[in-house]
Amino acid sequence: MNQLHEPVLLKETIEALQVQPGGRYIDCTVGGGGHSAAILEASSPGGQLLGLDADPQAILNAKPILKQYGKSVLLVNENFSQLEVVSTECGFRPVHGILFDLGMSSNQLSEHGRGFSFQHEAPLDMRFSPDQELTASQIINDFSENELAMLIWNLGEERRSRKIAKLIVKNRPLQTTLELAQVVSKAVNGERGKLHPATKTFQALRMAVNREIENLRSALGQAVNLLGFGGRLVVISFHSLEDRPVKEFLTREARGCICPPETPVCICDHTPTLRLISKGIIRPSAQEIATNPRSRSAKMRVAERIS
C-alpha cells in the first residue's frame, strides 16, 4: 500500500518544528510517511530525518514514498519507547526537532487482518508489532471481570465498563472483532450516539496491548534529552488520554520547582528544560476538518528546548 497518508495539521507541524534547510529531525510515528515527506522537503537541501514506527508494515509502506530522499532518511522499525537508544546507535543526536503523531493511522484501520477495526471480521490481535507478546484476545479471554472493567474504564473512559466486562466474561471465549463488537453492543442495549458502541472498548484494548501511555511517558523524557538548544518538540494527540500526559509533562518541564505545594522549601533542584510555545492547544482549521474529518479531534502542543 503506497498511497500517501493524509497527514493531520501538516502546515502547522512544519511551522511548529521551525524546519530549516540542513536540519535534523525525528518522526517518532512515521505512519504513512506524510509528515516525514513534508519535513524532508522543507529541510532540503541537506536535511536529515530519522523515522521510527513500531509497526513493520508502516515502515514498508513509507519506504517507497520516501525513497526519493535517498540517504537523507533513515527508517527504523522500533517503538518510540526506544527513542534514545535508536538515536544514539544511529549517531542521530542532537536534533532540531522531534514529532509525535499519536494514535492510529488510517492504513492500520484499513488493514482488515490486524483486528483494530470493529467494522471487519478479524482475529482479536491489535498489536502494532508481531514481536509483542500480549494480544487483545488474551486480555478478553484471560483477564478477570474486574480487570476488564477497570481496563475499559481507565483506557476507554467507558462509563458502562462493568456491564461490558460482565457480558464479555459470560460469552467467552471470543475470537474475532465482530464477536466482541456484538457483545459490547448487546451490553449497552444497542445504545448508539455519535460513536459506535464498541469504539471505546476497542480503544482501551489497543492502548493496553501496545502500552501506549507508558511508552509515551517514557519517550517524552527521552525526546528532551535528544533536542539541541532551541530544538522543538511537537506532539499531536487525538483524545484526552493521550493529551493529558503530554500536557502534564510539558507543563512540568517548563517549571522550575516541582515540589508538592505543601513543601515549605524547594528540595527538588529541578530546572526548566522546555519553554511552552503554544500556551494552549493548536487545532485544525475548519477547512482541514471539512477535507479530512479524521483531523477533527486532533490537538497539537509545542515546546522548545531551553537548557
- Please write the tens of the pLDDT for every residue from 53-71: 999 999 999 999 999 999 9
Q: By percentage, how much of the chain surpasses pLDDT 70?
A: 96
Q: Are residues 93 and 228 in the same domain?
A: yes
**Residue 193 scores a pLDDT above 70:** no
Asked, for residue 284, whether it belongs to a domain, the answer is yes
Q: Are residues 101 and 216 in the same domain?
A: yes
Residue 158 vs residue 193, higher pLDDT? 158
pLDDT band at 267 (very low <50, low <70, confident <90, very high): confident
Report the pLDDT averaged over residues 62-83: 97
Q: Are residues 26 and 152 in the same domain?
A: no
Asked, for residue 14, whether it belongs to a domain, the answer is yes
Report the pLDDT averaged over residues 207-229: 97
Asked, for residue 263, whether it belongs to a domain, the answer is yes
How far is the CA of 60 from the CAs of 93, 253, 265, in angstroms? 25, 35, 53
Residue 105 vs residue 186, higher pLDDT? 186
Q: Are residues 35 and 99 in the same domain?
A: yes
User: For position 178, which CATH number holds?
Assistant: 1.10.150.170
Asked, for residue 127, whether it belongs to a domain, the answer is no
User: For position 226, which CATH number holds?
Assistant: 3.40.50.150
Q: Which domain-ending residue is among 209, 225, 241?
A: 209
**Residue 105 scores a pLDDT above 80:** no
pLDDT in tens, 112-150: 788 999 988 999 999 999 999 999 999 999 999 999 999
Least reliable range by pLDDT among 220-229, 256-265, 269-278: 256-265
Q: Are residues 220 and 293 in the same domain?
A: yes
Report the pLDDT averaged over residues 196-220: 96
**Residue 263 scores a pLDDT above 90:** no
Q: Which domain-ending residue is among 176, 209, 242?
A: 209
Asked, for residue 245, whether it belongs to a domain, the answer is yes
Asked, for residue 122, whether it belongs to a domain, the answer is no
pLDDT band at 278 (very low <50, low <70, confident <90, very high): confident
Q: Are residues 280 and 218 in the same domain?
A: yes
Look at residue 307 in the predicted model and tell me its pLDDT: 76
Residue 18 · residue 305 · CB < 8 Å? no
Q: Are residues 47 and 185 in the same domain?
A: no
Report the pLDDT averaged over residues 182-197: 83
Residue bearing cell 505543601: 262
pLDDT band at 1 (very low <50, low <70, confident <90, very high): very low
Q: Which domain-ending residue is among 183, 209, 235?
A: 209
Asked, for residue 93, whether it belongs to a domain, the answer is yes
pLDDT in tens, 4-49: 557 999 999 999 999 999 999 999 999 989 999 999 999 999 999 9
**Residue 3 scores a pLDDT above 50:** no
Asked, for residue 112, whether it belongs to a domain, the answer is no
Q: Are residues 251 and 301 in the same domain?
A: yes
Q: Are residues 103 and 14 in the same domain?
A: yes
Domain that holds residue 80: 10-107+212-305
Q: Into how many domains does the chain fold?
A: 2
Q: Are residues 72 and 141 in the same domain?
A: no
Q: Are residues 218 and 89 in the same domain?
A: yes
Look at residue 2 in the predicted model and tell me its pLDDT: 43
